[in-house]
Structure 1
Amino acid sequence: MDASYTLISGPPPLADYLRLRRDSGLTPKNPEQGAGAIAGSWSACHVVDEHGTPVAMGRTIGDGGWYFHIADIATDPSHQRRGIGRRIVEWLVEDVRSRAPEGAYVTLVGDPPGQRLYRSLGFEDVAPSLGMARRT
């Protein structure tokens, strides 16, 4: 990530959270869902460009003890391939490492576009486990 970008501890404003999810290809969420996600995060960070506009984000959900899940890694398409996503994941992992008890377990869902990045940062497939989901 070059010096024209600044990483900021904390989530982006709600409108930017929703925009970054949508524009980066993540499932769009409504304002109520976004507000709950931001409020329920264990930690978060975002990156702004030279104009102060949020261009990327990520957050961690966790119990504060041993289990943490990295979510919402999203970079505006016009700012991708510049090391911003890598810097966000590194920051989130370091935040868990520095504040959680030793032995914390950090997970994420590695969609195909991000799998190479996540593997390069030490994440491994959890096979034979299979991620599962249910919507209510």
Structure 2
Amino acid sequence: MPGRDVAAGYDFAEEIPAINDYRRLRAVAGLTPKSFEAARIALPNTLFAVVVRHQGRVIGMGRVVGDGGCHMQIVAMAVEPAHQGKGIGKGIFAAFESWLARTAPDTAYVSLIADGDAKHLYAKFGFEPVMPASIGMARFYRGDPAKR
């Protein structure tokens, strides 16, 4: 599954990450933290996922979510900082591209939110900014406002 430019010793698998790995990788990669309950609900609803291991330990992941036909989104791309810069993110994304080429119907809209320099990786796979025609918008739900 990984490309030629991934360093040796990394094992890529098409599988959904375990809840604890998912939450840990999000935290160490600087992504928004997710509660155990949110991850427990979300992970089984994954359309496609990749987990990367180094010496048996999960050090990277990524997921595709959506309805499987009209709309899909690439989410939760995360690699432990000590393993970044070794082609792992590119390998994960290449697995997404392969899966999408096999499964996405014509007219499927595949989106993602690019944080920081990740936009350069995504551009290599043909993803482009949607502005000014569209603008990404988000809202985080953080439980009962009275408990904040």
TM-score (ref. length: structure 1): 0.93
In 1, distance between residues paired with 2:42 and 2:97?
19
Residue from 10, 13, 19 that aligns with 2:15? 10
Q: 1:63-106: per-residue Cα shift (whole Å, max 9, x none)?
A: 11121100000000000001100111111122122122233221
In 2, distance between residues paired with 1:104 and 1:121?
16
The offset of 1:40, in angstroms, is 1.5
1:135 aligns with 2:147: no
Matches within 5 A, 1:1-136: 1-49=6-54, 51-128=55-132, 129-136=134-141
The answer to whether the 8 A contact 1:97-1:104 is kept is no
Query: Unaligned 5+ residue runs, structure 1?
Result: none
Query: Unaligned 5+ residue runs, structure 2?
Result: 1-5, 142-148
TM-score (ref. length: structure 2): 0.86
The offset of 1:31, in angstroms, is 0.8
State the one-letter code of the partner of 1:38: L
Whichever of the two has the greater Rg, that structure is 2
Identity rate, percent: 39
- The worse-fitting range, judged by mean Cα deviation, of 72-81 and 99-108 is 99-108
Deviant stretches of 4+, over 2 Å: none
State the one-letter code of the partner of 2:130: V
